[in-house]
Amino acid sequence: MVSSVSSINGSNSSMAVSSASSTKLTDATKKQLEALGIDTSKIKTEAEGQSLLTQVKQAQQAQQAQQAQQSQSAQKPESGSMQQMETLKAQASSLAEKLGISASPDTKIPDLMNVISYAITKLEAQAGTNPTKLQQAKDYQAQYTTISNSLAAMESEKQSSQSKISNSMAAMANYNIAFFNL
């Protein structure tokens, strides 16, 4: 076994002696590495094995921290989105009532929006040349368009967030593959 002096303190003449990195990989370290799915055939010394274990632990901690952060940031918009979705559903229900449509609280927004669209189209057809009814139909159409655009924007935001999370996870997977030489 080769030994080296890692530090000398002149005031009290104490020496710290450490083993050099030429010691063979221990069975305990080898088992830990294999449990992580790491091929130990290329790891020759205990120092290399311990270094790799440390790096793996740091990478796992970084990944867990990133996932926790993504989870928290993904949950925050979700609660805001839920509130915004409820607001849009209330607006759609109110518009449906103005059009004489009764909808149960269980009605899904896309179904409600389809019924509203049909009712507005029907109202426009029945209005004929009556300017008051035509204006009323245009007002309802404007309200419908506003709600519809808000729903589309929310869906786009949701897809964008999901895409960002997916891309982050893919990048982390690629990092892990490169790091572990898989």
Query: Taken in order 47, 27, 175, 74, is the CA torsion positive or negative?
Result: negative
H-helix segments, 27-130 = 27-35, 46-98, 109-127
pTM listed for this prediction: 0.50
- As a whole number, the mean pLDDT across the chain is 78
Mean pLDDT value across residues 52-73 = 76
Q: 169 pLDDT band (50/70/90 cuts)?
A: confident
**Which residues are within 8 A (CB) of 89 and not within 5 positions of it... i.e. 6 or more apart?**
109, 112
Q: Which residues pair with 18 in a beta bridge?
A: 4
**Per-domain residue ranges for the chain?**
3-179
Cβ-count burial 22-59 (b if 16+ within 10 Å, e if not): eeebeeebbebbeeeebebeebebbbbbbebeeebeee
Average pLDDT over residues 30-35: 85
